[in-house]
Chain A
């Protein structure tokens, strides 16, 4: 079993809608998680990180962490065509600290159509 899994996708939403991206993880001891956005042919860029149960909001983005259920999600409100990209969920490799090695999910391709 992969340590971090993203099973949904590809995801297509209309402009202005809420896009919901999900990720599950296997190591219950994992502390922090990251969401990266990767445009085609480019390297990932950090969108958000979260280490506490509950929600964390930053502009149009909200990350949610549920440690009991071992899932992490990213909500994008008022989706724009420029949000079209692959979204990668990342967590600590082998239960390490948030500042150790990262392991990435497979990614979810999001397309926002006008």
Chain B
């Protein structure tokens, strides 16, 4: 089956710093990648959709200047949380799909902002 990896799996940072999370599709080319956020005891909330070579589309209420997404290739998308604050602490999950398939999820990155 399709494999999606994320790095790092967890990160702790100080308030005001920026954190980059990588999402890679290991054995397929992902035409689209999605970024989700999940707070404790809540469901997944879609943050943005990223297509290779084009700008990401953000869901309502998600600050595009705070959550920078770069989909540089068909196997790599990055999410950068800029000037992170404690309220940004969450479980960030990416997913990837190729044309005509469903989503395959990465293992997630747990971000803790002190």
Interface residues, chain A, CB within 8 Å of chain B?
A: 34, 36, 41-46, 49, 88, 93, 98-99, 101-107
**Chain B residues bordering chain A, tally (CB within 8 A):** 20
B107 CB-CB contact with A under 8 Å: yes
- What is the chain A residue whose CB lies nearest that of B99? A99
- Are B100 and A99 interface neighbours, CB within 8 A? yes
B62 CB-CB contact with A under 8 Å: no
Please classify the interface of chain B as helix (H, G, I), strand (E, B), loop, or mixed, using the class held by over half of its residues.
loop
- Are A49 and B46 interface neighbours, CB within 8 A? no
- What is the chain B residue whose CB lies nearest that of A34? B102
Contacts of B49 in A (CB 8 A): 101
- Are B102 and A104 interface neighbours, CB within 8 A? no
B34 CB-CB contact with A under 8 Å: yes
Contacts of B42 in A (CB 8 A): 106
Set A42, A101, A103: member contacting B108, Cβ < 8 A: A42
Set A46, A105, A107: member contacting B102, Cβ < 8 A: A46
Contacts of A36 in B (CB 8 A): 105
6 pairs from A and B in contact (CB 8 Å cutoff): A42-B108, A46-B104, A88-B43, A93-B46, A103-B46, A105-B43
Set B46, B99, B108: member contacting A102, Cβ < 8 A: B46
- What is the chain A residue whose CB lies nearest that of B49? A101
